[in-house]
Structure 1
Amino acid sequence: PSETTGDTSDYFEPLNHKWKIYRSRGKANILDMHKIRNISMDNSEAQYRYDNTNMNMVTTPPSSAYRRESQPDKMLERIVEGLKNEYIPTTLVLNHNMELVYTLGNIEGYFKVPSGRMVFDISKMMSKDLSVPITTGLQKVFTNKEDIKYTNLRTTVNGERVKLNILIKMLPEKQGHEPLAAVFLFDKVPDKDLDIKESDPSHYDMDQIVEQRITDLEQELQLTRENLQATIEELETSNEELQATNEELFASNEELQATNEELHSVNEELHTVNTEYQDKIFELTELNQDIENLMSNTQIGALFLDENLEIRKFTETIKAIFHLIDKDIGRNIEFISDKVLGIDLLDIIKSVQDNNESYENEINTKDGKWYLIKVLPYRVEKNIYSGIIVTIIDIRTLKNTQKSLEKNK
């Protein structure tokens, strides 16, 4: 929040009194203090000041002249201050809440300060002779924006019964400020001075004013009751809507509770299935390890092909025979040379795949090695095959034993 505007209040209008936020009313002709210089001249105390009118530097002796008024409102305040007691009637400035904002002139004898908390409500600070017509007139002035005059109003001021004439008038509105009205209290003067005649309908009648005041208050009370009833109906409607919303939320909560229970049941089922899968994975891992150990220890070479005759898997023995590497997995069997075993292995594999009949034969290679080769269809289910298995067993020891037995015979 900014600080107060001080002497520059006329250049700004308040937007928020609480946070002290203001808006400029326009460009002001503010002195440029950097252009003002104090100059000593031959031991004199003459000073230079800035002239806002012709933008020139002029000299003014400080002891023989006064500073020119920089704001017209300051000059007006001085004039009013000098004339208020002799020429200006007692004036009260009030807002729409009937609160006293400003006074002008001699107010002695018109007000009394009630005990307790300090208030500025005119109805509590003035006698009924004055408060009733003033509050009634103010209400009409704020509503209709028209001046009201009362004449020959009898009241007591400083213990003396006097007659007063009252003029209630709206003050010019100012953007950003609350609306204000002025109440002028005139001493009894000739009618021509106020331009009011005794037969004027503004002639004050206490009974009529009180009756009008009561009527206005009754209308205001009726309006308040209607507004209160409308508010009650709105609250009842809102309460019904909130009740319906509460019931919907309660039903949604029950549905969420049921859904939570279902999810809990599904979670338990998933946990059970997960446990079963874990057991299956463990069994398959053990089975795979058993097969690997069996094929490795028995030195049986095994080559697994899919339905497209692409390599799926092979053992270390096959790897050594055909000089395979791990990157060959996924390649077609056609790249294997027929010179390794001396037979057309690809033709044998295709024949087995087409006829679903196994092939078995003993092969003697050029380097004197003996192998038992078997080509079998890979059975998925009964009478359903997908792929080929090629097994190669080294039978050199068996052949050498057979030769030795034949020689001994």
Structure 2
Amino acid sequence: MLSTTSEQINNLNQLNEELENYFSNTIIPQIFVDAKLILRKFTPPAMKQFNLKADFIGKPLEEIKENFRFPTIIDNIKTVIATGKILEKEIQTTDMRWFQMNVLPYLIRKENITNGVIITFVDINSRIRDLNEQEKMLAEHELLLDTIAHDIKNPLLALSLSVQMMKNLPARSLE
């Protein structure tokens, strides 16, 4: 029996080591929050991006929510925990960067319950920048088209008035 328990502990330690290795080498900001809204773990990019500290682990998210510049993050987490459905939103951080925030339920499959969430943040700054540039170009094109239409309209109006006046002149005989 002792070898089984010892073997199980070794297996758990190995799994924990693999999980720790995964977290420390993940390049995407990820945050793990349990069903009681306690911060359980975060990746190094999340630590850097959201100014998180190791001693935040085990604290209620309510105490550190200002690090996210997203006022409804706690409500969104509660919704995902209650519904078990994925939530995706675009958010902006305190350093004015944009992220696609994906809040995914953390499931305990054997019991079929949601025991928290995993929040992943994908950098979308380049996409937002591209959209802004496209909107700016569209506005410039609309202005150009308005200017061209205005510039063409005036000579056409003058020509139209001249033709109308010529139609109203009495016909001259070629004598």
Question: Which TM bucket (shorter chain)?
Answer: 0.5 to 0.7
Number of the residue aligned with 1:303: 31
SS of 1:303 mapped into structure 2: strand
| Aligned pairs for 1:19-168 within 5 A | none
Deviations 1:192-245 (A, max 9, x none): xxxxxxxxxxxxxxxxxxxxxxxxxxxxxxxxxxxxxxxxxxxxxxxxxxxxxx
RMSD of the alignment, in Å?
3.2
CA contact (8 A) 1:321 1:340 kept: no
Deviations 1:267-295 (A, max 9, x none): xx5346634643553344234313431x2
CA contact (8 A) 2:67 2:94 kept: no
Number of the residue aligned with 1:399: 128
Amino acid at match of 2:104: L
CA contact (8 A) 1:301 1:314 kept: yes
Number of the residue aligned with 1:286: 18
Amino acid at match of 2:77: I
Distance 1:339 1:277 in 2: 37
Q: 1:404 to 1:327 in 2, by over 3 A?
A: same
Shift of residue 309 of structure 1?
A: 0.9
Q: Which has the higher contact order (CA 8 A, sep 6+)?
A: 2
Number of the residue aligned with 1:386: 115
Distance 1:316 1:391 in 2: 13
Structure number, greater radius of gyration: 1
SS of 2:31 mapped into structure 1: strand
SS of 1:331 mapped into structure 2: coil
Unaligned runs of 5+ in 2: 142-175
Distance 2:71 2:41 in 1: 22
Shift of residue 359 of structure 1?
A: 1.0
Number of the residue aligned with 2:104: 376
Number of the residue aligned with 1:353: 81
Number of the residue aligned with 1:319: 47
The total of aligned residue pairs comes to 137
User: Of Structure 1 and Structure 2, which has the larger fraction of its residues in helix?
Assistant: 2
Distance 1:340 1:291 in 2: 20
Deviations 1:102-127 (A, max 9, x none): xxxxxxxxxxxxxxxxxxxxxxxxxx
SS of 2:122 mapped into structure 1: strand
Query: What TM-score results when the alignment is normalised by the length of structure 1?
Result: 0.29
Distance 1:283 1:352 in 2: 27
Distance 2:94 2:57 in 1: 28
Shift of residue 363 of structure 1?
A: 2.1
Deviations 1:235-264 (A, max 9, x none): xxxxxxxxxxxxxxxxxxxxxxxxxxxxxx
The structure 1 residue matched to 2:62, chosen from 317, 331, 334, is: 334
SS of 2:37 mapped into structure 1: coil
Shift of residue 339 of structure 1?
A: 7.5
Amino acid at match of 2:37: L
Deviations 1:28-59 (A, max 9, x none): xxxxxxxxxxxxxxxxxxxxxxxxxxxxxxxx
Distance 2:19 2:100 in 1: 26
Distance 1:342 1:377 in 2: 19
Number of the residue aligned with 2:171: none
Number of the residue aligned with 2:2: 270
Distance 2:39 2:121 in 1: 16
Distance 2:122 2:83 in 1: 24
Shift of residue 323 of structure 1?
A: 2.5
SS of 2:89 mapped into structure 1: strand
Shift of residue 395 of structure 1?
A: 1.6
Q: 1:302 to 1:279 in 2, by over 3 A?
A: same
Query: What TM-score results when the alignment is normalised by the length of structure 2?
Result: 0.61
